[in-house]
Amino acid sequence: MKKKFPEDLVTNSKRRALQYQHVDGTFELNFGGAMLLMAGCLFILNKFAISNDLLLFAPLVVFVGGIYLIDDLVQRFRLRVTYLRTGYIAYQKPQPTKRSTRMMIWFGIPFITLTLLVLIFLNRSKVPMASQDYVLILFPSFAGLLFTGLWMVVAWKTSLPRFYLTAAVALLVSAWIFINGIADKTGMSLLFGLMGVDLCIAGSLTLRQYLHKNPVTQKASDEQ
Amino acid sequence: MSSDQRSLASVDRLIHEPSRSNILAILAIVESVDFLYLQHETGLTKGNLSVHLSKLEEAGYIKIEKTYRGKIPFTLCSMNSKGRQAFEVYRKQLAQFVENTKET
C-alpha cells in the first residue's frame, strides 16, 4: 500500500540514510578485499597441501581480521574523501532487541553454518566415500548460496539494485562450481576469489561514479 | 471551521515549512548529521540552510555543535527530545488530517 505524507518523508529519509552507507562503494571494496585475502589463504593451503586441522580455520581468521583491517582503512578514507564531499551521518544505535536480531542474522547464521560445514569436513572420514565427495562438492556451492542470500538481504534492505546483481553473480558462481564439481579448498578459493573480484570491480565502479558526481568542495562542511 | 481545519490550523508553523520539515525528517532518524549532508539532502543553499537551522535551534528543537574528527571540522546537527516530541505531534496531526480528508 502506498504510504502518505508525512510518513513518506520520514521513510524516504530513512531509506536514503541507509543507502548513504553504500554511496561510495567502500562497503564492497572492504568485503571484496577480505574475500580476496581469504581466497589467497585457501589457495596457499591447497597449493602446499597443508592438512593441519587447526590451519583449516586460518582462512576464517584471515577473513574476519581482513575485514577489520580493511575497515580501518575504509574509515580513514571516508573521513578524508566521502565526508568532505557529501557529509557525515552518525547512525542511531539500534535498540537492544533489534541489535540482537541483527547480530544473530549477520554473525550467528553464517557462523553456525560455517561451523557445521567445517565439522562435516573434519569428520568426512567417518562417512562413506561417495558421501565424502558429495560433501566436498556441496561445501563451496552451499557457501555461495549463503552469500546469495546475504546479498539479497542487503539489496532488499537498502533498495539498491546493484546488490541484486552481486547476489546473481554469487548464485552463478556457486552453480558453476557445483556443475563442474570443483570441490574442497579449490572450490572455496575460486568462490571467494571470484566474489572478491566481483565486489572489488563493483566497489571501484561505484567509487569512480561517486567521485565523478561529487567533486570536493573546500571547507564545505564548516561554512554554516 | 471544521475540526479537520482546526487541527490543521493548530500545527506547529515552525515545522510546517517544507524545508524545515524535511530537515527534521532527516534528523529524526539519525543520531546526528553534518551540515554538508543536510545541504545535499535538502538541496538548499548554505545561507538558506543556515537560516532554517538557526530557527530550529532557537526553538530548542535541534542542537548544533561544531566539532572535529581528526583534523577535519564538522558542524553536527542533532534533534533533541523537545524536537522529537514536536515532530511526532506534527506527524500525527498531519496524518490525522490526511486520513480524515481522503476521498472514499
The CATH number given to whatever domain includes residue B15 is: 1.10.10.10
Percentage above 90 pLDDT, chain B = 63
Number of domains in chain B: 1
Chain centre to alpha carbon of residue A49: 27
For B22, the domain range is 3-97
pLDDT, tens digit (0-9, with 9 covering 90-100), for A83-95: 889 999 988 877 6
> A21 or A121, which is more confident?
A21
Check CB contact of A79 with chain B, cutoff 8 Å: yes
- Chain B contact for A7 (CB, 8 A cutoff): yes
CA nearest B52 in A: which residue?
A: A224
pLDDT at A224 over 50: no
The yes-or-no verdict on residue A222 having pLDDT over 50 is no
Q: Does A222 touch chain B (CB under 8 A)?
A: yes
Determine, yes or no, domain membership for B64: yes
Interface touch A90/B75, C-beta < 8 Å: no
In a domain, B22, yes or no: yes
> What band does B101 get if pLDDT is binned at 50, 70 and 90?
confident
Chain B: give the shortest CA distance to residue A91, in Å: 5
| % pLDDT > 70, chain B | 91
State the pLDDT at residue A125. Answer: 67
Q: If pLDDT is split at 50, 70 and 90, which confidence band does A119 have? A: confident
Q: Is B104 contained in some domain?
A: no
Task: Tell me how many degrees the CA angle A134-A42-A128 measures, rounded to the nearest 5.
Answer: 20
From chain A, pick out residues whose CB is under 8 angstroms from the CB of B95. Answer: 4, 6-7
Chain A to chain B, count of Cβ pairs less than 8 Å apart?
A: 104
In Å, what is the CA distance from A129 to each residue of A120, A123, A178, B63? 13, 12, 18, 67
**CA–CA dist A175, A146 (Å, integer):** 12
Mean pLDDT, rounded, of chain A: 81
B103 domain-assigned? no
* Confidence band, pLDDT 50/70/90 cuts, at residue B85: very high
Segment among A23-27, A163-167, A186-190, B70-74 with least mean pLDDT: B70-74
**Predicted local distance difference test score (pLDDT) of residue B19:** 93
Q: How confident is the model at residue A194 (pLDDT cuts 50, 70, 90)?
A: very high
